Amino acid sequence: MLIKFEVNGTPAEVDVEPRLSLADCLRDTLHLTGTHLGCEHGVCGACTVIVNGEAVRSCLMLAVQADGENVVTVEGLSNDEALTPLQAAFRKHHALQCGFCTPGMITTAHALLSEEPNADADRVREVLSGNICRCTGYVPIIEAVLAARTAYGADQ
């Protein structure tokens, strides 16, 4: 099936098998390997991308379901010049070790803070509890996301 959607602000047109997941389409067809697969059954959150502003598990979504939609991956939340405030906060707080869960954490946190820049620690923990990290113990991830809130317009 031929589908058209927007990925990281650029139009994409791909011919996919109906059974292809959005995650595999992003990784294998479009070579956006920042989206990771940790479980392929919707639990770990490593594959989280942003579809029309909402955090979505790309392993649970078919590529054909993205037809006509707007998809943003971790690559789309990055630029070459400098780390974004969210990324810089992750680095500063040592919120990543192996880095495998990191793209999913960044996309999930970005979707959250874009909607709720004043999210408190409990809210951040609640939302990120859908993303598994085996390395950090989460404490620094929560610190990083809380620290990044001002960049999303949180009340000072």
- Nearest residue (CB) to ligand FES, 47 versus 124: 47
Q: Which amino acid is at 144?
A: A
At how many degrees (to 10) do helices 121-128 and 139-147 cross?
Answer: 120
Measured from the CB of residue 156, what is the shortest distance to ligand FES in angstroms?
A: 30
Residue environment code for 100-124, b if the CB has 16+ CB neighbours within 10 A, otherwise e:
bbbbbbbbbbbbbbeeeeebeeeeb
How many residues comprise the chain?
156
Pairing of strands 2-7, 10-15: antiparallel
Please state, in angstroms and rounded to a whole number, the distance separating the CA atoms of residues 18 and 37. Answer: 19
Least distance in Å: CB of 139 to another protein? 5
* Minimum distance of another protein from residue 3's CB (angstroms): 18
Binding-site ranges for another protein (CB under 8 A): 17, 19, 27, 32-41, 43-44, 46, 73-75, 78, 83, 87, 90-92, 94, 96-103, 106, 121-122, 124-126, 128-142
Footprint of ligand FES on this chain (CB under 6 A)? 37-40, 42-47, 57, 59, 96-102, 133-136
Q: Which does 148 bind (CB under 5 to 8 A by kind): another protein, ligand FES, none?
A: none
Expressed in angstroms, the distance from the first to the final Cα of the chain is 49
Q: Which does 69 bind (CB under 5 to 8 A by kind): ligand FES, another protein, none?
A: none
**Contact partner, 59, from ligand FES, another protein, none, Cβ < 5-8 Å per class:** ligand FES
